[in-house]
Amino acid sequence: MRTLVLNQDFTFLGVCDWKDSISAVYCGKAIIEEEFENEVHSVSITMKIPAVIRLKRYVKILYERISYVSYNKRNVHLRDNFICQYCSEKKIQSKLGIDHILPESRGGLSNWINTVSCCSNCNTLKGNRTPQEAGMKLIRIPSKPKSFREIVRIKLGELHDLWKPYL
């Protein structure tokens, strides 16, 4: 489970693992705003898992940090909503790979506009060719996200109802 992290003024900062959110609350760095029904138990205490936490101290965010989304495999899958961009099948992250539209062996780069989420069947079918050469069509032209919020907004339908008022 993941926890939504808000700044002191309720602006979105990101998400973290539920264990990290419990640590932040226990150390006095955050306040629980919403809780899931699930509980965790230790020897001496039982508590509900935080769904939304808000930091007690304001964290100043630089504009560059908000507008920059690092390129990595997980963020490509988030951008593509964990859907193979050739066959439109939704997969779990471990069943998806990254496909280079212009293959690396032919000068293609690993960047936002040359890579898409792809299942292993489609990746094998495409091989070392461009989608046009393989007779395959992309369901969406890849683009670089403007901010991490754009990636999160794509996944909003899959987020817990407790998060939606804060996003």
pTM across the whole model? 0.57
Contact between 10 and 166 (Cβ < 8 Å): yes
Q: Does domain 70-134 have CATH number 1.10.30.50?
A: yes
Neighbour tally for 6: CB within 10 Å: 19
| List of residues 6+ apart from 151 with CB closer than 8 A | 69, 75, 78, 79, 145
The phi and psi torsions of 54 (rounded to 5 degrees) equal -125, 130
% of the chain residues with pLDDT over 70? 88
> What is residue 120's three-state secondary structure?
helix
Q: pLDDT (tens digit, 9 = 90+) per residue, 110-135?
A: 999 999 999 999 999 999 999 999 99
Q: List the domain boundaries for the chain.
A: 2-65+159-166, 70-134
Residue 154 confidence (pLDDT): 46
Flag whether pLDDT at 150 surpasses 70.
no
CA distance 167 to 159: 10
SS3 breakdown of the chain: % helix, strand, coil, rounded to 5?
A: 30, 25, 45
Q: pLDDT (tens digit, 9 = 90+) per residue, 62-99?
A: 654 445 678 999 889 988 989 999 999 999 888 999 99
Distance from chain centroid for Cα 64: 19
Residue 158 confidence (pLDDT): 55
Residue 76 confidence (pLDDT): 93
CA distance 23 to 109: 40
